[in-house]
Amino acid sequence: MEVCTMNDVKIYNLAAGKSLPDWLSDRKKRALVRKDSKVRHRIELIQEFEMPTVTTHLRVTPDQQHILACGVYKPRIRCYEVSQLSMKFERCLDYEVVSMACLADDYSKMVFLSTDRYVEFHARYGRYHRIRIPRSGRDMKYMQCSAELLFAGDGPDVYRLNLEQGQFLKSFESQAVSVNCVQFNEDHNLILMGTSDGTVEAWDPRCQARVASLPATLEAFSEEMKAIPGVSVIAFKDPLSFGVGTTSGHVLLFDIRADKPYLCKDHMYSMPIKTLDFHHDNRVISADSKAIKIYGEDGKMFTSITTAHDINDVCVFGKSGLILVATESPKIQPFYIPALGTAPRWCSFLDNITEELEETNQDTVYDDYKFVTIKEVEELNLTNLVGTNMLRAYMHGYFIDVRLYHKAKQLSQPFAYEEYKKKKIKERLNAMRADRVPDKTKVHLPKVNARVAQRLIEREQELLENAAKENRRKLKKFVNPMKDSRFSEMFENPDFEVEEDTEDFNRLRSVIATLQKPKKDSSERAVEVDAFNPDDNDGGIADNDSVKSDMSALDSLSEGSSDEELDRGKKTPKDPTAGFTQKSGSDILRGFRPTTKKVRTSKVSLGERLKSRSGLVEMSRGFTSGNRMITYESKKGKKGKSDADHMNERRKVRRSAKGLNMKKCK
């Protein structure tokens, strides 16, 4: 057992402490209890009060003699008898349970709504019958006065199953997209439906019509939210008062005769409220995934309970101080708060134990504070409170009282809801205008990121105009984000606006300008090369006239000569200077094919062509990586010697090594 104090209220965690493994014998368990003090002081409220993996739902039967628990894995139901402090029976199901209800005072008649849309009816001996509803269910309630089951699902219809007639009746059709929860009051037979649109609809089963509709979650809306939160849970306190839990983590308390709540409580975790219950002494118990909050109807905090694992369900045992919590862990955690109420009769020994433990001092943890950063303090105009008790410095911000935070926020942003309303009206008008027939002669730019859209349209038009063979591949690769549904919000939602005047954008301006430059096509890319002078042994640059004459002579060689003529003289590769051309006084290499215009000179003899070719550079086809191979034939030297003459002279001077006696080195 662990004891902690929050707001001067002591909370006893009955599930804390070491647990003994089941495979130990009784003798070893007794020996371990004598040796270990932590095991000796542990409290096992109910034997095997756990699930194999996770517990999802907890219910107490109306006669308060049995506790029903649902969990996984495999999906199962366990019934615990409190008079015996042990498990009574266990049943396995095919699918997980979404909601459960007791049709009798004990466990003899139960109904379970599962994830596969099946509704299972169980008796003492086991499953009695099962039936399927049209849509996936989210909540279920039993109307005892008319013996009807109400099923709320992911659609606007709330289905009615009459158990006396054994058939479905005409469903209640809500105005919202879907219904998250449904609640029934036995005093005036009023049905309340909590919708995903944030409204609470009241239906009268006698006339089977909607009698009222309340926008319940408007008071919990803030500009930080993208949409109005929905209703996650509804609970009645009495015939005239009820509470509403929202998906944004707020609890709103209403009087049935008023259209505005008399209390709005924020859990400050921005998580949906999972359970809501009213205790005696005007206490409200609400829970989300992180914590259980207990406070008065005036909003004053009483205490809170936090767990190490996420909370799935909370069940208060009657009007006592015992709270059962189902978490994302195998153990079902019972908490006992003496200040909330006495222990139930079947576990009255808890009062004696807690009296002995009250003498120990525990650390105090304060609640009802919200953490704000320095930037948020400046936005709320609370910088003058820095250094006072109103703002408690912590890490990179401050702790501030929640009531002061809400007042300051309301004063700093008084027209937040009006601006949100105008924004929604503007969005609907724009959506209606979009349905009109557009003018195809004009290019309509979106209001969001208009500059980006204009650049994309210009790029696409440029590729369409230059849709030549070399640009078809680029046109196929280009994808306009304006025509892709995945990027539609980029040109519709103002949150995705590209702010080109910000400092971060200015830092990237040079990079963006480089990327936006049009890339040169492969046919326009040129690499300058040097032309070798045929009269210069050093390979200097030739003038323009000599290059032109050499090019014309080589072109005529490739066209006017026959194979026989080439065989008589020195063989020359076909088109040896492919890729040379003249541009602005320099020799430029263009691609792999010759770009110069070929001149037909059939009157030039083969000898003159070979003579004009001597000493020119020969260019072969390049590699795919862009490199080029250059080969050339050396001219005869000044003395008229060729390469063959030099090779003959070297053979005569060379000494043979055949006559030398060579010994191998060991």
Spatial contact of 215 and 162, defined as CB atoms under 8 Å apart: no
Given pLDDT bands bounded at 50, 70 and 90, which one contains residue 613?
Answer: low
Instruction: List own/partner pairs for 629-633 with CB under 8 A and 24 or more apart.
Output: 632/532
Quick: pLDDT tens for 114-156: 999 999 999 999 999 999 999 999 999 999 888 999 999 888 9
Given pLDDT bands bounded at 50, 70 and 90, which one contains residue 357?
Answer: low
Is a pLDDT exceeding 90 seen at residue 404? no
Lowest mean pLDDT among 9-13, 333-337, 501-505: 501-505
Task: Quote the CA–CA distance of 272 and 315 in Å, as a whole number.
Answer: 17
Lowest mean pLDDT among 215-229, 309-323, 505-519: 505-519
| Predicted local distance difference test score (pLDDT) of residue 454 | 83
- Residue bearing tokens 């009698």: 211
Spatial contact of 157 and 141, defined as CB atoms under 8 Å apart: no
Is a pLDDT exceeding 50 seen at residue 476? yes
Mean pLDDT of 597-610: 60
Lowest mean pLDDT among 14-28, 193-207, 355-369, 526-540: 526-540
Distance between terminal CA atoms of the chain? Answer: 89
Given pLDDT bands bounded at 50, 70 and 90, which one contains residue 396?
Answer: confident
| Predicted local distance difference test score (pLDDT) of residue 445 | 77
Is a pLDDT exceeding 60 seen at residue 619? no
| Predicted local distance difference test score (pLDDT) of residue 406 | 80
- Residue bearing tokens 């002995």: 356
Structure letter (DSSP) for residue 491: G
Lowest mean pLDDT among 82-91, 232-241, 347-356, 536-545: 536-545
> What's the mean pLDDT when you consider all of the chain?
77
Mean pLDDT of 223-233: 85
Look at 642 and 245; give whichever has higher pLDDT: 245
Given pLDDT bands bounded at 50, 70 and 90, which one contains residue 468?
Answer: low
Q: Cβ contacts of residue 273 below 8 Å, gap of 6+? A: 232, 233, 245, 246, 247, 249, 250, 251, 267, 286, 287, 288
Beta-sheet pairing, 54-60 with 364-365: unpaired
Mean pLDDT of 531-547: 42
Smallest Cα–Cα separation from 137: which of 156, 153, 121? 153
Task: Quote the CA–CA distance of 8 and 351 in Å, as a whole number.
Answer: 18
Is a pLDDT exceeding 90 seen at residue 9? no
Mean pLDDT of 158-169: 92
Beta-sheet pairing, 2-6 with 364-365: parallel
Q: Cβ contacts of residue 662 below 8 Å, gap of 6+? A: none
Is a pLDDT exceeding 90 seen at residue 277? yes
Dihedral sign from CA coordinates of 184, 185, 189, 195 = negative
> What percentage of the chain has pLDDT greater than the value 70?
69
Task: Quote the CA–CA distance of 55 and 325 in Å, as a whole number.
Answer: 9
Q: Looking at the chain, which residues constitute the CATH 2.130.10.10 domain(s)?
A: 144-273
Look at 419 and 244; give whichever has higher pLDDT: 244
| Predicted local distance difference test score (pLDDT) of residue 308 | 85
pTM score: 0.56
Given pLDDT bands bounded at 50, 70 and 90, which one contains residue 390?
Answer: confident
Quick: pLDDT tens for 559-569: 444 444 444 44
- Helix 544-560 and helix 606-613: axis angle, to 10°? 140
Is a pLDDT exceeding 70 seen at residue 517? no
Task: Quote the CA–CA distance of 198 and 478 in Å, as a whole number.
Answer: 44
Task: Quote the CA–CA distance of 477 and 295 in Å, as a whole number.
Answer: 62
Given pLDDT bands bounded at 50, 70 and 90, which one contains residue 582?
Answer: very low
| Predicted local distance difference test score (pLDDT) of residue 526 | 39
- How many residues appear in the chain? 666
Q: Cβ contacts of residue 386 below 8 Å, gap of 6+? A: 377, 398
Look at 33 and 203; give whichever has higher pLDDT: 203
Structure letter (DSSP) for residue 562: -
Pick the CATH number of 144-273 from 3.30.565.10, 3.30.413.10, 2.130.10.10, 3.40.50.300: 2.130.10.10
Neighbours of 515 (CB within 10 A): 9
- 587 three-state secondary structure: strand
